[in-house]
Amino acid sequence: MTSPKPPRQIFIQGITRDGRTFRPSDWAERLAGALSSFRPGGAKTGPGSHIGYSPLCVPRVINGVKCVIVSEELRRIEPMAWDFVVNFARDNDLQTTEACLLPDQPPLR
């Protein structure tokens, strides 16, 4: 029996196709914040439940470039949210890449 393929991830980079840095500077945090309630198993409730990003849509800085990493799992959970982020990237002419973020590994010794 083969294990299921992990979901792909789309990296939305804060650089337009013509090489300009996308503004405003907090765009990644805003985009990920707008999708913070989309979580595996549904939205969390209770005190502090509104704080934090969804594991399906997280802001990161990679090689000095602001990015939002969106898991394809979002498409299964909420197709309209997936369409929103994909259209956001397209409408703002942002560079995107399909990849898989590797978990942090301890240094080799």
Is 86 a member of any domain? no
Q: Tell whether 70 is covered by a domain.
A: no
Name the residue range of residue 23's domain.
8-38+53-63
Q: Is 59 part of any domain?
A: yes
pLDDT tens per residue across span 47-61? 555 567 888 999 999
Neighbouring residues of 21: CB distance < 8 A, sequence distance ≥ 6: 14, 15
Q: Does 27 fall in a domain?
A: yes
Q: For residue 95, is it within any domain?
A: no
Q: What is the pLDDT of residues 39-89, one digit of tens each?
A: 766 555 555 555 678 889 999 999 999 999 999 999 998 999 999 999 999
Domain assignment of residue 107, yes or no: no
Instruction: List, in order, residues 6 or more apart from 59 with CB less than 8 Å away.
Output: 28, 29, 31, 32, 53, 66, 67, 68, 69
**C-alpha–C-alpha distance, residues 47 and 106, integer Å:** 33
The number of folded domains in the chain is 1
- Note whether residue 81 is domain-resident: no
